[in-house]
Amino acid sequence: MAEPPIEDEGEEAAQGQAKQESSHQATVAAKNLAILKARSFDVTFEVGDEYEVIETIGTGAYGVVSSARRKDTGQQVAIKKIPNAFDVVMNAKRTLRELKILKHFKHDNIIAIKDILKPSVPYAEFKSV
């Protein structure tokens, strides 16, 4: 009778560490979501003269989304604000990943990036995007 293969202890340890990191990231995301939901209506959207913010329509793991209208065309848009986008490295990486992915999609059922708004204050002073 053949003996079952013996798993490499290093591989098992790596899998355990990966599960632990994944669990930690899920906990951090859950905390971020709870904080954002609690203060989602306190987030100020400074969108300049081009857009008129209508209302907050939702929150995600690291951002708040508001409905808005582009003043010159009347086009309805969604604007996502990510408070303290660069305070947590994981959130900054997720934001960059989302932007990289969305810029390639051209489909009616997937939201497209129309514009990226820069903060109105100098880079050294801003705490959120």
81 is in an annotated binding site: yes
Tokens of 129: 């995007």
Q: How many CA atoms lie within 13 A of 46 on its CB side?
A: 8
Distances (CA, A) of 120 to 46, 71, 91, 125: 8, 19, 21, 10
C-alpha–C-alpha distance, residues 63 and 46, integer Å: 15
Q: Residues at the annotated binding site?
A: 81
Q: Residues at the annotated binding site for ATP?
A: 81
